[in-house]
Structure 1
Amino acid sequence: MIWLIGLGGSLGAASRYLIAEWMKHKTRAFPAGTWIVNIAGSFLLGMLADFHLANDMNDALWLLLGAGFCGSFTTFSTFGHETVTLLQSDQYKTAGLYVVASIAVGLAAATVGFWI
């Protein structure tokens, strides 16, 4: 089973990197790549958790997609680093917006995903 988590994790990490790199070319005012990845990952994990809890998804698929893919696709450490970088650059409003939007929209996305 550990191999399923590793496989999902490598796919999630690669996906996160590609999306974040693509978004760097779109905007520099806001860490949009990490934000989009974290919101999408929250939504997906909410859906997967509901499927798993309802026994509509077996444990192997849960480990591959939930623990593996979503676990490495979303990233709290990058969120923290980008927030500190914004604060060090005296971009206090952007940092505040990033934190509030990440938490509020992330929780909402997870909830919507769970309901769906």
Structure 2
Amino acid sequence: MKWLLVIAGAMVGAPLRYLTDRTVQSRHDSLFPWGTFTVNIVGCLVLGLLTGMVTAKAVSSEVQLLVGPGLCGALSTYSTFSYETLRLAEDGARFYAAANIAASVVAGLGAAFTGTALAQAVWG
């Protein structure tokens, strides 16, 4: 029955992704996919925080399933990142495509490390 926890997390993560993406993107008049970038970085931060909490044994395996593959799995979106990057390159916006790749990798890893470090500082 643990799979129900993943479903419950995804039921929150998917609409949160959509609403966040639309809200953020509507505030930017740019080709850069700010909405997808935002949800992916937030997902990395939350997953890093969760990882640190799991390491410190501050959360149960049930919370790990709910938040990890459930919430974060539905909140963040590698497929949309890939699609939007490909579309930018095909439409001639190669700078934005490259910036999206570089910024997503650097900020995503930075957010994951920050979340893990924060959890270790609080619960470690």
Whether the TM-score (by the shorter chain) exceeds 0.5 is: yes
Deviation at 1:54, TM superposition (A): 1.5
The two structures have a TM-score, normalised by structure 2, of: 0.90
In the aligned structure 2, how far is the partner of 1:24 from the partner of 1:32? 6
**Unaligned runs of at least 5 residues, structure 2:** 119-124
**Unaligned runs of at least 5 residues, structure 1:** none
2:95 to 78, 90, 93: 93
> 1:20: which partner in 2?
21
Deviation at 1:72, TM superposition (A): 1.0
The two structures have a TM-score, normalised by structure 1, of: 0.96
The count of aligned residue pairs is 116
**Deviations, residues 3-41 of structure 1 (Å, cap 9, x unaligned):** 000010121111000011112211232100000111111
**Deviations, residues 28-81 of structure 1 (Å, cap 9, x unaligned):** 321000001111110110000110122110011111011200111011000000
In the aligned structure 1, how far is the partner of 2:65 from the partner of 2:57? 14
In the aligned structure 2, how far is the partner of 1:23 from the partner of 1:51? 29
Name the aligned partner's letter for residue 104 of structure 1.
Answer: V
2:86 to 84, 87, 98: 84
Is residue 40 from structure 1 mapped to residue 42 from structure 2 by the alignment?
A: yes
CA RMSD of aligned residues (A): 0.8
Deviation at 1:85, TM superposition (A): 0.7
2:77 to 75, 78, 82: 75
Identical aligned residues as a percent: 34
Could you list the structure 1 runs, at least 4 aligned residues long, displaced by more than 4 angstroms after superposition.
none
Name the aligned partner's letter for residue 39 of structure 1.
Answer: I
Name the aligned partner's letter for residue 23 of structure 1.
Answer: V
